[in-house]
């Protein structure tokens, strides 16, 4: 399960980042994976089969994020200004395929979609003023949609 959230650096950390990345330093970068290997991984993920019910779940999940539409969830109508687009559905399926592969499965299931939903949807939905005023976070909205 992915749960990646990054906080902003402190003032001093940011000063150090700027100093360390805008100077004359030369870094010795080690190649971990080749361009060809990345392309092969991408091809592999695209070849993973997905059952229709998993695709339908991902599309329904994304459609539930779109306030003011027939498929919108109550929480979306209440707390979202803007929902995810079709790329949200596409990347839920791509991410679910990857999640399945790294967990030793040959095909993703709904649990794989749920496992990657937050990092995929987090930046694709926009909270409204009510959500911000009530301190309702994006992750809480996504959790409710799941």
pLDDT at residue 11 in the model? 92
pLDDT at residue 21 in the model? 84
- Name the average pLDDT for the chain: 92
pTM here? 0.78
Domain residue ranges in the chain? 49-145
pLDDT at residue 130 in the model? 94
B/e letters for 4-37, b = 16+ CB within 10 Å, e = fewer, are eeeeeeeeeeeeeeeeeeeeeeeeeeeeeeeeee
pLDDT at residue 8 in the model? 81
- CA 40, CA 129: separation in Å to the nearest integer? 44
* Regions of the chain with pLDDT less than 70: 1-6
Does the domain at residues 49-145 carry the CATH identifier 3.20.20.210? no
pLDDT at residue 6 in the model? 66
pLDDT at residue 2 in the model? 53
């Amino acid at each position: 399960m992915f749960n990646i959230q990054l906080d902003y650096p402190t003032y001093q950390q940011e000063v150090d980042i700027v100093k360390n990345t805008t100077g004359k330093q030369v870094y010795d970068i080690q190649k971990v994976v080749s361009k060809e290997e990345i392309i092969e991984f991408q091809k592999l993920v695209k070849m993973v089969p997905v059952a229709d019910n998993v695709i339908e779940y991902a599309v329904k999940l994304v459609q539930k994020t779109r306030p003011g539409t027939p498929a919108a969830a109550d929480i979306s109508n209440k707390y979202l200004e803007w929902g995810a687009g079709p790329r949200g559905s596409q990347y839920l399926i791509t991410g679910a395929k990857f999640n399945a592969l790294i967990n030793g499965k040959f095909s993703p299931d709904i649990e794989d979609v749920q496992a990657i939903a937050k990092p995929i949807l987090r930046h694709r939905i926009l909270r409204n003023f009510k959500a911000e005023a009530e301190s309702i976070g994006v992750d809480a909205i996504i959790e409710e949609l799941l």
